[in-house]
Every structure is written in C-alpha cells, then in structure tokens.
Structure 1
Amino acid sequence: MSRLSKPSKFLFDKNFNVPEVPKETAPPEPVEPMMTVAEHERLIAAAREDARRQGHAEGLMEGRSGEERRLVDQVGDLVQVVSRLLGALDEAREETEKDAVTLAFLVARRLSAHLIARNPLGETVALVSECLGPLRQAPHLVIRVAERDVEPLKARLDPVVREKGFDGRLVLLGEPEIARGDCRIEWADGGIMRDRKAVEAQVDLSIRNYFEAKAAARARTRQAAVAGARETEA
C-alpha cells in the first residue's frame, strides 16, 4: 500500500490582500577580478620593461652629466695651457722686440755722437736759421754753445744773419756745461734748447713706458682668460 504525502494545512488567518514583504538577504560578497596567467605575465613583463627603460635613461643622464663635467674640466685645462703658451710666446716676442728696439736706440745714439763729432755745429746752425726768420724784429738774440764752438759758430752764422735780414743784436756765449752739438737760444720773451742727453732720456722713457703698457695689457688678458676658465668650470 503506497504512502500518501501529508496534506498541507490551509491557513485561514493569512491575508492575501497584503503584499508579501521579501525577507532581507545579505549582500553578495564581492567577487575578486580574475585574470589569466598570460595576462599576468604580460603585465609583469611590461613593468620590467618600463623599469629597464627608466634605469637606462637615468644611467644615460648620469653618464652625460659626468661626460659634460669631464669636458668642462678638459676645456678649462686646455684654456690654461693655451693661456700659458700664449703668455710665453708674448714674452718671447716682447723680449725680441725689446732687444731690437734697444739695439736700434744704441745704434742711433752712437750714430748721433759720430755725426756730432764730425760736424758739431750743423744742428745748431740749422736751428738758429729756423729761429731768425720769425724773430727778425727781436731786439737781441742770445745763443749759448760749448766754449770751443763760439768762434767757429760766429763765422758760420754771419752769412745766415744777413740772409734772414735779422737787424737785432746777436750775442754768442760759451758755456762749459753745454756739450758740443747742443745749444740754447734765448730772446726777450722766450727761448729754445737743444739737449741731446735730454732727448735720449725722453726716448728711453718712452720705450720703457711702451713695454710696461704692453706687459700690463698682457697681464690683464691673462687674468681675463683665467677668470673665464674658472667661470666655465663653475
């Protein structure tokens, strides 16, 4: 005999007009995203490649910075070497020029002394001749020369005085301190002097000033080059 299921009890107290409120259920647990092994390995490989590229770029930057520093140091050293070489060349050239000028000045002094010894009154007569024209109206003219040259000078000046038309009084005086070839010409409101030693001293001073100015300019150029090299290194 088959068993029959027990019939469900009919509930007369249940109100079917009121909608049934669903029972509260817990929210579903979040599902963690999943990826394939191949995708995971691809992402890891991409991250490694990015890290490698970044490291390579940083290495290149560091290497470039180091190379630039080495180049700057080499340029600074080269500038200093070139500056020293140029300074040495300038000094050698200046010494050569100084020797040449000194030799030329020595030759000129000796030649001048030789010409004066041969014709001690030549320059004096030429200077007096130049003065007599503008000073022909002067009341007197005093010429001071070496004592031994008074009489010879008078003989040579007489025709010059007549040629220039000088009507004043011409006075010739011998002075022991005046060297042969030198003279002093004096008139009422002025005078002129020829002094070979003074001229030589002036020429010698001009030569010294010239080479001192060149040396100072070379020193300034060298200092500027060193300062530029230091700025480049900085």
Structure 2
Amino acid sequence: MAAPAQKFLFDNDFGAPDKAREKAAAAAELAQAVAAAEQRGYQVGFAQAQREMQADAERLCAMALEQIGQSMQVIAAGIGSVETRMETEAVEVAVAVARKLCRELIAAEPLAEITALVGECFRHLVSTPHLVVRISDGLYEAARERIELLAKRSGFAGRLVLLSDPEIAGGDCKIEWADGGMVLERAAIEAKITELVGRYMASRK
C-alpha cells in the first residue's frame, strides 16, 4: 500500500546556505583584515623601534666621540707638562754640570781665566798709564810672575800694580785703569746664569 502523500507547506528556507556562506566569507575577510592590520602594526612598530635604536646609537656615538676628544686633550696637556718638566730638568742638569765643571777647572787651573783676561787688557790698553790688578791672597805670588811676564811680552809700557785682596775669591780678579775697569767674579756670573735660566723656564710654562 503506497505511503500517503504529504502536503508541501512552503516552510523550507532555501536561502540559508547562502547566508551561512556570506557569514563565513565576512568572518574570513575580517580575519584577514585583522591579520593585515596586525602585520602593518608590527611593521610600523618595528620601523619605529629601528629609528629609536639608530637615534640612540648615534647619540651614544656622539657622546663617545666627545669623551674621546676630552681624553685626548687631557693626554695632550699631560704630555705637554711632561715635556716641559723634562726640559726644565734637562736645563737644570746642564747648568749644574756646567757649574761643577767650572769649579773643577778653576780648582785645577785657577790662574787660567785671570791671565787670559789680563792678557786681553794688555793688548787693548797698551798706552794706558797704569793698570791695577787685584787678586786673592792665595794666588798672589803665582799670579804676579805670570802677569808681569804677560806685560813684557805684550809690550805694555804703563805702570803695572798687583794687589792681593782677601775679599776676592780664588779664580776671581778685578782690573782697573784710569777710565774704566772690569771684574771677573764667578759668583756674579753664576747668579746671572741662574737668572737667565729662570726667565727662560718661566717663559716655557
């Protein structure tokens, strides 16, 4: 026996699958849009971070260069002070050596400078009426013989006067004539050298 026929009630919605597909497509598009937005946000954030890192690196590099420049200035100033100190010490050593050598030469030959100076006076003061030479007590006898011999050899025709002076140091002398005179005084020479060296070193600071 055949099944009874059912009456069609027109209650089936044939558009439901299309709506479902539309919703699925919209959800997919939304997901893609969100993903794209996230990607763009990541790229923007990454670029911003890179710019900030670059700026920080440049700032640190500038600070480092400034610090290096300051350090080089300090080093240069230190080197300059070392060079000045070394130069000062070198000059002081040279002066000390010269003084020591001068003392040793005077001790070994105390009449050398005296006779050399007196001999120059004889050559340039041949017509001088008289010449007075003052020397230390300890060198008087030895100096008298040498100076008198120098006067004869140089042709000095004036009156030669030799005097011993207890205030004159060994190796020093005073020479006087009518309108002038000169002094050989080692202490005064050393003082002048010290003054000149002091001025030179002061100008180098």
Class of the TM-score when normalised by the shorter of the 2 chains? 0.5 to 0.7
Q: Report what 1:229 is aligned to.
A: none
Matched, 1:112 2:102: yes
Distance 1:206 1:153, change over 3 A: same
Residue type of the partner of 2:178?
A
2:170 counterpart (180, 183, 194): 180
Other structure's SS at 1:137 match = coil
Alpha-carbon distance between aligned partners in 2 of 1:128 and 1:185, rounded to the nearest angstrom:
8
Corresponding residue number in structure 1 for 2:122: 132
User: Which of 182, 194, 208 is equivalent to 2:198?
Assistant: 208
- How much has 1:195 moved relative to structure 2? 1.1
Q: CA deviation at 1:67?
A: 5.0
Higher relative contact order (CA 8 A, sep 6+): 1
Mapping for residues 156-167 of structure 1, pairs under 5 Å: 156-167=146-157
Pick closer, same or farther for the CA change 1:209–1:74 going to 2, 3 Å.
farther
Q: Secondary structure at the match of 1:133?
A: helix
Counterpart amino acid of residue 153 in structure 1? A
Which shifted more, 107-116 or 120-129? 107-116
1:83-122 equivalences under 5 Å are: 83-122=73-112
1:105-161 alpha-carbon deviations (Å, 9 max, x no partner): 222212211111121111100000011111010111111111222221110012211
User: Match for residue 225 of structure 1?
Assistant: none
What are the ranges of 5 or more consecutive residues in structure 2 without an aligned counterpart? 1-43
Matched, 1:145 2:135: yes
SS at match of 1:136: coil
| Cα distance in structure 2, aligned partners of 1:118 and 1:170 | 27
Match of 1:81 in 2: 71
Q: Quote how far apart the aligned CAs of 1:202 are.
A: 1.4
C-alpha displacement of 1:79: 3.6
State the distance in 2 between where 1:166 and 1:82 align: 69
Measure the CA separation in 1 of the matches of 2:177 and 2:66: 67
CA deviation map 1:143-197 (0-9, x unaligned): 1111222221110012211111111111111111211111111111111111111
Unaligned segments of structure 1, at least 5 residues: 1-51, 216-234
Supply the distance in 1 between the matched residues of 2:113 and 2:100 (Cα, whole angstroms).
16
**As a proportion of its length, which structure holds more helix?**
2
Amino acid at match of 1:183: C
